[in-house]
Amino acid sequence: MAAGDLHPLILVPGQSGNQLEARLTEAYQPSTPACRTPHGDDWFRIWMDRSLLLDSAGQLCFAEQLSLVYDADDDDYRNVPGVETRVPFFGSTLGLRFLDPDHKDSSLCMDTLVKSLEEIGYDDGLNLFGAPYDFRYGLAGQGHPSKVATQYLEDLKELIEKASKMNGDKPVIILTHSLGGLLTLHLLNRNLPQWRQKFIKRFIALSAPWGGIVMEMLIFTCGDTMGMPSVNPLIIREQFRRTESNLWLLPFPSVFGDRPLAITKDRNYSAANMAEFLQAIGFEEGAKPYESRVLPLLEEMALPGVPVTCIAGVRVRTPETLVYNGGGKFDEAPELVYGDGDGLVNLESLLALESQWSNSPEQELKVIKIPNATHSGILMEEFAVREVIKEVLDANSFL
């Protein structure tokens, strides 16, 4: 297919799927002077720079500087005082191709996918665009402010309109990964049907956690090493807990119901009592914004009225229940009970739209399941990327 015949395409990454930069101002009060020393007042890449995580002192600074603070008076999240952040390369794929340009093997990057799109005629800045964002922030339910994420939706809307205009007013294909799918669905539903019909050709969502992720509960209790053995997960846990979008990715009651997801000797926790779970693990400050801001947001899953394709990895062992045998000590790693999914997102979450929209003939929905494709592998493994490219070509030829 000739490049001029292609519909413009915008890539929206998942959580942690693009670079972030930070700068420390005089208002920053570090827990240790070492947290200021390496950077001074200059902008630096904080996500992702693996050199920042080589020792416990660096990990503490990393977690501290990337954390968000919930301001109860403003009912919104903000950076830690004295830490400024920005998203580089908006509109381009540069910030998506590699998270850490010094370690180009980093996962969740889109370089393989971008190269495959280039092979069929896409060109960065001409008919191919990237829409990175500050993935720490999330949206909130109606009546609650979410300044950063709402501004991102406005920026993404403008990019869609710009991409269409640059390409002969062709409607745009939006290709998302993981959390990017949730953001894009809300973008569509927050704009008029006439706008969607004019500017959106097809919405292709890869590995979207439509109903949340059980593994988020594990991250809230035990943290995560991010694939680096030197990282102390309990240090990084504080940053993960203070990432607003992680609250959004906890299992949705509408998808997981009252099935026990975390089991302790004293009681069980399901998606229906997630606020109590947050309190039980010692993160009381997260319970109120979860109940007031996140739960109402979960009900906003309306039909977008544009063609949607969900592409999901299946038949990969995925944690679906956490069993804590330590007498209520959530710091200790639980026993994991596995089910189906993509290794991170559970099958019922990946396929939630299929079940929720099955009785809606007015909504075009196509579901593609790729056996053995993991959550990150869907962006990098040749057999998975090949299926994604097929769907992009199909969207371009669809009449």
| pLDDT, position 325 | 87
Local structure of residue 253 (DSSP, 8 states): H
- CA 189, CA 186: separation in Å to the nearest integer? 5
| pLDDT, position 206 | 98
CATH code where residue 366 lies: 3.40.50.1820
| Cα-only R_g, the chain | 21
Q: Which of 366, 376, 379 is nearest to 202 (CA)?
A: 366
Domain count, the chain: 1
Within a domain: 73: no
| pLDDT, position 90 | 98
Structure tokens at 308: 């949607």
Say whether 342 is catalytic: yes
Say whether 376 is catalytic: no
Which amino acid is residue 242, in one-letter code? R
Say whether 375 is catalytic: yes
Structure tokens at 152: 């991102």
**DSSP conformation letters of 206-239:** ES--TT--THHHHHHHH---TT-TTS-HHHHHHH
Range of the domain at 281: 3-15+90-397
Question: Model pTM?
Answer: 0.96
Chain center to CA of 89: 18
| pLDDT, position 302 | 87
Within a domain: 49: no
Within a domain: 20: no
- CA 142, CA 296: separation in Å to the nearest integer? 7
- CA 262, CA 240: separation in Å to the nearest integer? 18
Catalytic one among 177, 342, 349, 376? 342
The pLDDT tens digits of the residues spanning 150-181 come to: 999 999 999 999 999 999 999 999 999 999 99
Catalytic one among 16, 106, 164, 178? 178
- CA 393, CA 399: separation in Å to the nearest integer? 12
DSSP, collapsed to helix, strand or coil, labels residue 368 as: strand
- CA 10, CA 201: separation in Å to the nearest integer? 11
Question: What share of residues in the chain are helix, strand, coil (percent, to 5)?
Answer: 40, 20, 45
Residue 263: CB atoms within 10 Å: 17
| pLDDT, position 328 | 59
Type and span of the H or E element at 62? helix 56-66
- CA 31, CA 243: separation in Å to the nearest integer? 19
Within a domain: 76: no
pLDDT mean for each 10 residues of the chain (399 residues)? 84 96 93 78 90 88 95 97 97 95 75 97 98 98 96 98 98 98 97 97 98 97 88 92 97 96 94 96 95 91 93 98 83 93 98 90 95 97 97 86
Angle of helix 147-166 versus helix 179-189 axis, rounded to 10: 80
